[in-house]
Chains A and B, each alone.
Chain A
Amino acid sequence: MADERPAEERISVASNWKLMWWRFRKHRLAVVSALVLIGLYAVVLCPDFFSTQDPEATDARLAFIPVQRVRLFDGWSLRPWVPGIVGKRNTTTLRMEWRLDEGRRVPVRFFVTGHPYRLLGVVPLRLHLLGTAPDAGTSIHLLGTDRLGRDQWSRLTHGTRTSMTIGLTAVVLSVVFGIVLGGISGYVGGMPDLVIQRVIELLQSLPTIPIWLALTAALPRDWSPQQVFFAITVILSLVGWTTLGREVRGRFLALREEDYVLAADLAGASRWRIIGRHMVPNFLSHIIATSTLAIPAMIINETSLSFLGLGIRPPAISWGVLLQEAQNIQSLALAPWLLIPGVVVILSVLAFNLVGDGLRDAADPYGS
């Protein structure tokens, strides 16, 4: 429904969120990055739909297959295909050596049936976005395979789910801690403020990476992947909340003196109503921008911890776990495509940073 009113009038009556959206829209890079993130979170929701194979299926005979790059056109018609692969065992090293056979074209089909899975953990399905025709008699490996012959593309979709979720949950936890503790600190003041401030200082002067390593190393070995996952989000947000807590405290201190807070107080509003209804909405947009910028740091931290073998542990898959395969120079020289998950890490962190910058500028009411 098009708004018939003149532009100026629309601006003067627009809500804060609408103004923010208008300003955000002007950042083209931020909008593109937001689309990238939406795409990644679509994979997070249902990695199996996007994968071509079971991410756990191992087949030593299919180890270290190189990337089969997708070609879109078959002659002049739009029919995507990948080159077939031919394996030959090297007689001296006894290793399988793969060669792409451009002559043999394996067509890539959309919406094919493949290995069974449960959509969102409930609905049993066999539908996949990409795959080969059932009669093709061969499997495709869009991003190659690792040393156990597991399909990297499919593993990457599952790694995306873990890593992107960890980043998001850790930041959500940090925001909750930050708002509650920073709020108490700023609004109540006095003794609680003093204690919380000292705790923040102590936490901030801890060497982050070594302490995280020590904490994750302390997690019992027999914990389930879900427990480890949750523990790691808690560990990451243990330090993450402090920056936000400080910021929230500062805002509370400034807002406490505002007339409308006094007015609400005199009108008999309860303390929680004043905080929840009048103060928090005032700096919520700012918090959202700050926390968007905090997500990429969490993702890098998780990836680094898992890469060192102390974060998410196999059989769970995360970007860091995938990059563990690329840890030594021998396997890198043999299979450089094992670095591809790293490219995805960089891409997602870049997208988060750009969106965060865009949001921050948009949330600033005094910006141009």
Chain B
Amino acid sequence: MTRVVLKRLLLLPLLMLLFSITVFAIMQAPPGDFLTTYVATLASSGSSITAEQVAALRREYGLDQPIWVQYLKWMQNLVTGNLGLSLEYQRPNVELIGERLALTVVLALMAFIVTWVVAIPAGIYSATHPGSPLDYVFTVLNYVGVATPNFMLALVLMWMAFAYFGMSITGLFSPEYVEAPWSFGRVGNLLAHIWLPAVVLGVAGTARLTRVMRANLLDELHKPYVTTARAKGLSEWRLVLRYPARLALNPLISTIGWYLPALFSGSLIVATVMNLPNIGPLLLRALINQDMYLAGAILLIYSFLTVLGTLISDVLLAWLDPRIRLEDG
């Protein structure tokens, strides 16, 4: 068990190194660089900049050096925890990303909790009452839930809240808390706002998970040990929760491996539509403006979160399922 975790942890730096090369290559791919975009923006707003100034700026940002030198410089800074300077905001990237990163993780975790809290009971109910009206309702909701893109759901909710209740449900804080320092009031305000985006983000996953839970539990319920327990007079409640539900849960643990990372990536779209102060919209802006070090830093953070999510699920699985422990340990 410890060996599995250690092995994975040792692989982490290697994986991150590969990711950093990939990300850097992608950041270099667009024709031109930040300065060409910057000059174009200036030109479209009427002001201009001389060729000497451009050259000076290019030297200042190191954009005139060969790619591999730029990469090594970037890596050197990364290792020392310096994510570089945002070319657009003229502020350190660490500062820009800091708080938004926490909100990204909180949003994904909230969506994760919503998913499990809803999907497991719904799946158990469907499996124990197959063919009941509520089972049909769940099945239909599941199909529609999987088929609805996140942003579409967000749009519909925003429109309905606005049209019928005159409310705006964008953002994560009420106006008075947006710029306020952290306090209990602010946390409460965040919790009052974050559940809706969390639900939007979690719907597709909930639908999938309910289906898997239902199928797994149905398989378990037909096994002889269930009949035995029932014959011995165990109450239906305890019977289902005690053994089959636990066994049906096991395969679900392995879904965390792709589900958590999917939530991190998916939060980008929801955040953009609902205007959440998350790293998603920041990345989108950075990509459009070719603010390459900011975009690169955010992409690397996403990669790191993805790998971390996979790692957590592997550890959980190894912890819960002894067969896997034997194989690797």
Complex Cα–Cα for A344 and B226 (A): 44
* Residues 263-289 (chain B) with a chain A CB within 8 angstroms: 264-266, 268-269, 272-273, 283-284, 287-288
* Interface residues in B, total, Cβ within 8 A: 49
Are A208 and B265 within 8 A (Cβ)? yes
Are B266 and A211 within 8 A (Cβ)? no
Complex Cα–Cα for A310 and B303 (A): 20
Across the interface, A210 reaches (CB within 8 A) one of B29, B163, B265, namely: B265
List the A side residues contacting B31 at CB < 8 Å.
220
Complex Cα–Cα for A326 and B15 (A): 40
Are A346 and B288 within 8 A (Cβ)? no
* Residues 319-364 (chain A) with a chain B CB within 8 angstroms: 323, 326-327, 329, 332-333, 336, 339, 342, 345-347, 349-350, 353-354
Give B149 Cβ to nearest chain A Cβ, in Å: 5
* Interface residues in A, total, Cβ within 8 A: 39
- Does residue A226 face the partner (Cβ distance < 8 Å to B)? no
List the B side residues contacting A326 at CB < 8 Å.
155
- Does residue B187 face the partner (Cβ distance < 8 Å to A)? no
Residue of B nearest to A346 (CB): B147
Are A345 and B149 within 8 A (Cβ)? yes
Across the interface, B299 reaches (CB within 8 A) one of A210, A323, A336, namely: A210
Q: Mark B237-271, 1 if CB is under 8 A from A, else 0.
A: 00000000000000000000000011011101100
List the A side residues contacting B144 at CB < 8 Å.
346, 350
* Residues 2-39 (chain B) with a chain A CB within 8 angstroms: 15, 18-19, 22-23, 26-27, 29-31
A209-B269 in contact given A218-B30, A308-B284, A329-B159 (Cβ < 8 Å)? yes
List the A side residues contacting B273 at CB < 8 Å.
327
Complex Cα–Cα for A41 and B148 (A): 20
Are B306 and A215 within 8 A (Cβ)? no
- Does residue B61 face the partner (Cβ distance < 8 Å to A)? no
- Does residue A304 face the partner (Cβ distance < 8 Å to B)? yes
Are A202 and B163 within 8 A (Cβ)? no
List the A side residues contacting B303 at CB < 8 Å.
205-207
- Does residue A94 face the partner (Cβ distance < 8 Å to B)? no
Residue of A nearest to B290 (CB): A217
List the A side residues contacting B143 at CB < 8 Å.
350, 353-354
Give A172 Cβ to nearest chain B Cβ, in Å: 21
- Does residue A168 face the partner (Cβ distance < 8 Å to B)? no
Are A217 and B30 within 8 A (Cβ)? yes
- Does residue B103 face the partner (Cβ distance < 8 Å to A)? no
Are A350 and B147 within 8 A (Cβ)? yes
List the A side residues contacting B168 at CB < 8 Å.
329
Query: DSSP majority for the A interface?
Result: helix
Complex Cα–Cα for A304 and B307 (A): 23
Residue of A nearest to B150 (CB): A304
* Residues 126-156 (chain B) with a chain A CB within 8 angstroms: 143-144, 146-152, 155-156
Give B256 Cβ to nearest chain A Cβ, in Å: 14
Are B22 and A206 within 8 A (Cβ)? yes
- Does residue B298 face the partner (Cβ distance < 8 Å to A)? yes
Are A207 and B272 within 8 A (Cβ)? no
Are B149 and A205 within 8 A (Cβ)? no
Residue of A nearest to B306 (CB): A207
Complex Cα–Cα for A236 and B170 (A): 30
Are B158 and A332 within 8 A (Cβ)? yes
Are A342 and B155 within 8 A (Cβ)? yes
List the A side residues contacting B156 at CB < 8 Å.
339, 342
List the B side residues contacting A346 at CB < 8 Å.
144, 147-149, 152
- Does residue B200 face the partner (Cβ distance < 8 Å to A)? no
Q: Mark B149-185, 1 if CB is under 8 A from A, else 0.
A: 1111001101100110000101000000000000000
Those 8 A-B pairs whose CB atoms lie nearest each other, nearest first: A207-B302, A209-B265, A218-B29, A349-B147, A217-B287, A342-B152, A350-B147, A218-B30
Task: Report which A residues bind B (CB closer than 8 A).
Answer: 202, 205-211, 213-215, 217-220, 296, 300, 303-304, 307-310, 323, 326-327, 329, 332-333, 336, 339, 342, 345-347, 349-350, 353-354
Task: Report which B residues bind A (CB closer than 8 A).
Answer: 15, 18-19, 22-23, 26-27, 29-31, 143-144, 146-152, 155-156, 158-159, 162-163, 168, 170, 261-262, 264-266, 268-269, 272-273, 283-284, 287-288, 295, 298-299, 302-303, 305-307, 310
Contact sample, A vs B, 30 pairs, CB 8 Å cutoff: A202-B15, A202-B18, A205-B310, A207-B261, A207-B299, A209-B269, A210-B268, A210-B283, A210-B299, A218-B30, A304-B269, A308-B269, A309-B288, A310-B288, A323-B152, A323-B155, A329-B159, A329-B162, A329-B168, A329-B170, A332-B158, A332-B159, A333-B162, A333-B163, A339-B155, A342-B149, A342-B156, A345-B149, A349-B146, A353-B146
